[in-house]
Amino acid sequence: MTDTPDTMDWDAAKEEMRRWYWWGVPTFFKCPWNETPGTSDIAVLGVPHSSGNGSTERDQHLGPRAVRNVSALYRRGHGRFGFVPWDVCTVHDAGDVPLPEAMVNDISVRHIEAYARRFNDAGTRLVSIGGDHAITGPLLKAVGGEGSRLTAGRPVALVHFDSHTDSYHHLPHWLGSRRSAAHWSSYTVKEGSVDAQRSTQIGIRPNVGTPGSRHTSEELGYRVIGMDEIEEIGWQGVAGAVRERVGDAPVYITFDLDSLDPCDAPGVSNLEPGYPGLRIGEAVRILQSLRGLDIVGGDVVCLMPIKDSPNQITAMNAMVVAFEMIALMADRMREKG
Binding site for Mn ion (CB under 5 A): 162-164, 256, 258
> What's the min distance (Å) between Cβ of 230 and Mn ion?
16
Nearer to Mn ion, 111 or 160 (CB): 160
> What's the min distance (Å) between Cβ of 269 and Mn ion?
7
Nearer to Mn ion, 162 or 308 (CB): 162
Residue nearest to Mn ion (CB): 164
Measured CA to CA, the distance from residue 298 to residue 251 in angstroms comes to 9
- E-assigned strand segments in the chain: 42-47, 91-96, 125-130, 157-161, 200-204, 223-226, 251-256, 295-301
* Cβ–Cβ under 8 Å, residues 122 and 150: no
Q: Which of 36, 42, 48, 31 is nearest to 93 (CA)?
A: 31
> What's the min distance (Å) between Cβ of 26 and Mn ion?
27
Nearer to Mn ion, 270 or 289 (CB): 270
Nearer to Mn ion, 101 or 228 (CB): 228
Measured CA to CA, the distance from residue 307 to residue 314 in angstroms comes to 9
Measured CA to CA, the distance from residue 289 to residue 240 in angstroms comes to 8
- Paired sense of beta strands 91-96 and 295-301, if any: unpaired
> What's the min distance (Å) between Cβ of 241 and Mn ion?
20
For 260, other C-beta atoms within 10 Å of its C-beta total: 28
282 — phi, psi (to 5°)? Answer: -70, -40
Nearer to Mn ion, 91 or 202 (CB): 202
Whether omega before 131 lies within 30 degrees of 0, making that bond cis, reads: yes
Q: Which of 236, 225, 181 is nearest to 203 (CA)?
A: 225
Nearer to Mn ion, 124 or 186 (CB): 186
Residues whose CB is less than 8 angstroms from the CB of residue 30 and which lie 6 or more positions away in sequence, other chains included = 18, 21, 24, 71, 72, 75
Query: Length of the chain, please?
Result: 337
> What's the min distance (Å) between Cβ of 163 and Mn ion?
5
Nearer to Mn ion, 59 or 121 (CB): 59
Strand partners, 223: 200
Q: How wide is the angle at C-alpha 328 spanned by C-alphas 327 and 329, nearest 5°?
A: 90
Nearer to Mn ion, 148 or 180 (CB): 180
* Cβ–Cβ under 8 Å, residues 64 and 146: no
> What's the min distance (Å) between Cβ of 204 and Mn ion?
9
> What's the min distance (Å) between Cβ of 190 and Mn ion?
20
- E-assigned strand segments in 87-229: 91-96, 125-130, 157-161, 200-204, 223-226
> What's the min distance (Å) between Cβ of 141 and Mn ion?
20
> What's the min distance (Å) between Cβ of 277 and Mn ion?
10
Nearer to Mn ion, 145 or 277 (CB): 277
